[in-house]
Amino acid sequence: MRNELHWRSKITVKTETRSIAIRKLSLADIPEMLMVEKLAWPDSKQQFSKENFKSQLRIFSNGCFGIYVDGKLAGMLNGLILSKSVFFKKDYSWYSLTDNGNFKSHNGKGKIFFVGSLSVNPAYQGLGLGKLLLEKAKSFVISNRLESVMLGSRIPDYKKFKSRYTPIQYLNKYKKHELSDWLLRFYENAKFKPKSVIPNYFYDPDSSNAGVLMIWDNKDSK
């Protein structure tokens, strides 16, 4: 793996200029990571634990990035490398792909950078930090000559339609622009493409536990 360079920039929010930096996370960051995690994921069944973070950082800290606003951790993207073949299995889930969030499923010979979690502290949401973290994942894939970034998106707006459509029908309607889902749109704005529904992907009542496999292909960057 090549050494990831730190990335720095500035954004202006309501006339205040804030300094933004993305850097690799390390074990010393765990207390701050837990704070962001609890705020971004209020339901404790969806949160990474201290043990999860420890394991992730021991196994593959190269795939864990924090975004800092004026020196404070505001969000993070935690990923691991997987081989394509794990996506050919019929019944995979977030739990099997990420080894229940511990990342022991990481396979350094694989070609897919899989985003196990993307979280921004609600106090900093809507500033473009989530998008910057996705850009970081893409540049990680480019600099390490991997094939793609993949992730399973929740479908939070499905809750309004669940009495009418199955998740597959919902995704088909979304693709035909017959309904909208803010999180799928967020990923599409970052040039990820929705592929297919993953039933029983991740505990998320709004999504009826379904996820949508989203892919950004490195070849599309050329």
Ligand X SMILES: CC(C)(COP(=O)(O)OP(=O)(O)OC[C@H]1O[C@@H](n2cnc3c(N)ncnc32)[C@H](O)[C@@H]1OP(=O)(O)O)[C@@H](O)C(=O)NCCC(=O)NCCS
Q: Binding residues for ligand X, per CB under 6 A? A: 40-41, 118-120, 125-131, 153-154, 182-183, 186, 189
Q: How far apart are CA 117 and CA 88, in angstroms?
A: 21
Nearer to ligand X, 79 or 109 (CB): 79
As a whole number of angstroms, the distance between CA 222 and CA 219 comes to 6
What is the nearest approach in angstroms of ligand X to the Cβ of residue 24?
19
Strand partners, 23: 66
* Nearer residue to ligand X within complex by CB, 125 or 218: 125
CB nearer ligand X, residue 81 or residue 134:
134
77, 67, 135, 80 alpha-carbon torsion, rounded to 10°: -30
- The CB-nearest residue to ligand X is 130
Give the shortest CB-85-to-ligand X separation in angstroms.
Answer: 23
Nearer to ligand X, 60 or 202 (CB): 202
How far is Cα 111 from Cα 125, in angstroms, rounded to an integer?
Answer: 30
Smallest separation, CB 72 to ligand X (Å) = 14
Three-state DSSP class for residue 34: helix
In the complex, the smallest distance separating the C-beta of residue 187 from ligand X, rounded to whole angstroms, is 8
Query: For residue 82, how many C-alpha atoms fall within 13 Å in the half-sphere facing its CB?
Result: 25
